[in-house]
Structure formats: C-alpha cells, structure tokens
C-alpha cells in the first residue's frame, strides 16, 4: 500500500504534455550581438585595470646609457672664464 504523500509516477504521455506547454525562447540576433559587444567592453576595461601603467617618470635604460656615454666624453667647462 503506497504512502499517502507519494504520488504515482508520471507517464511518458504526461511528460510530453508538460513539454508541449514549454515554448522555446530564442533571443533576437541584435540582442545577442549587443550582449557580445557589452562583454567585450567590460573585458577591455578589466584588462586596462589589470595592466601596469607606465609612469611618466620611467626612463628608457638605453637612453640613460647614451646620456652617460655623452657625459663621459664631454669636457668640463671651466668655472671662471678668463678675462
């Protein structure tokens, strides 16, 4: 004897009847393209936040080496000019 809270198992016909009530929903292609564009924008913003920023004070090591070489070759100027 089944328990009073138990329901009888649904038949395959019952399942098909329930599935026939469900309608497929496919979003318009414009909505899909808009969602992709919005996602790409968010990924670009995230990438910009995660990438290290270049400081305006950062110098190029090659530029420093060139400047030092030029300073080594330069002749010192006399502090006083002759009269």
Please tell me which residue, 14 or 2, carries the higher pLDDT value.
14
Q: What is the pLDDT of residue 33?
A: 95
Is 0.75 topped by the overall pTM?
A: no
pLDDT band (50, 70, 90) for residue 30: very high
The predicted pLDDT at position 39 comes to 96
CA 3 to chain centre: 56
Distance between CA atoms of residues 17 and 10, nearest Å:
11
Average of per-residue pLDDT values in the chain? 80
Asked if pLDDT for residue 78 goes beyond 70, the answer is: no
Give the C-alpha separation, 11 to 17, whole Å: 10
Domain residue spans in the chain?
Answer: 9-73
Q: How far is it, in rounded angstroms, from Cα 44 to Cα 37?
A: 11
- The one-character DSSP state at 75 is P
């Amino acid at each position: 004897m089944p328990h009073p809270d138990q329901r009888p198992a649904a038949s395959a016909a019952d399942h098909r009847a329930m599935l026939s009530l469900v309608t497929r929903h496919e979003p318009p292609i414009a909505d899909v393209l808009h969602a992709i564009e919005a996602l790409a924008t968010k990924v670009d913003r995230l990438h910009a936040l995660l990438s290290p920023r270049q400081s305006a004070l950062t110098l190029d090591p090659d530029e420093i080496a060139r400047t030092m070489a030029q300073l080594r070759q330069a002749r010192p100027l006399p502090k006083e000019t002759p009269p």
